[in-house]
Amino acid sequence: MTTKFTPDHEYIRVEGSTGTVGITSYAQEQLGDIVFVELPEVGKVLKKGDEAAVVESVKAASEIYAPVSGTVTAVNDALNGEPGMVNADPEAGGWMFKIEVSEPGELDKLLDADGYAELTV
């Protein structure tokens, strides 16, 4: 399993050709309490950088962008009733959607954990 990060504070955890996408712990801290999550539709085809989801917090609304190109294969429906899961456990229970990666080479252009850590200091 490989985890990569975007400069916009999304993560993608890849197993095989499927990536699980959400926002980083740093991002949820900056947003504050998440009160609503708008998830993409299963089957939606995304290109890298496309708006995929929206999170609303007590501070602001923020777009979540697709870290790579692919097709949405699943969404975390639990967030509809409990958006605070993004705050409580952003990189496990608070994941947003899964994507079947269509351009694996795009993963090489994302940040590794060390590169992302440098971005957030």
pTM given for the model: 0.96
Q: Is residue 115 part of a domain?
A: no
Q: How many domains does the chain have?
A: 1
Each residue's pLDDT tens digit, 6-32: 999 999 999 999 999 999 999 999 999
Q: Is residue 70 part of a domain?
A: yes
Residue 86 half-sphere exposure toward CB, CA atoms < 13 A: 35
Kindly report the CATH number assigned to the domain that includes residue 102.
2.40.50.100
Question: What does DSSP say about strands 51-57 and 10-15: parallel, antiparallel, or unpaired?
Answer: unpaired
Cβ contacts of 77 within 8 Å, gap of 6 or more:
39
Q: Is residue 8 part of a domain?
A: yes
Q: Which domain does 71 fall in, by range? A: 2-108
Q: Is residue 20 part of a domain?
A: yes
pLDDT at 1 over 90: no
Cβ contacts of 107 within 8 Å, gap of 6 or more:
2, 4, 12, 14, 68, 101
Each residue's pLDDT tens digit, 46-98: 999 999 999 999 989 999 999 999 999 999 999 999 999 999 999 999 999 99
| Sheet containing 34-38, strands listed edge to edge, beginning at the edge strand earlier in sequence | 34-38, 51-57, 61-65
Cα–Cα dist 37/15, whole Å:
24
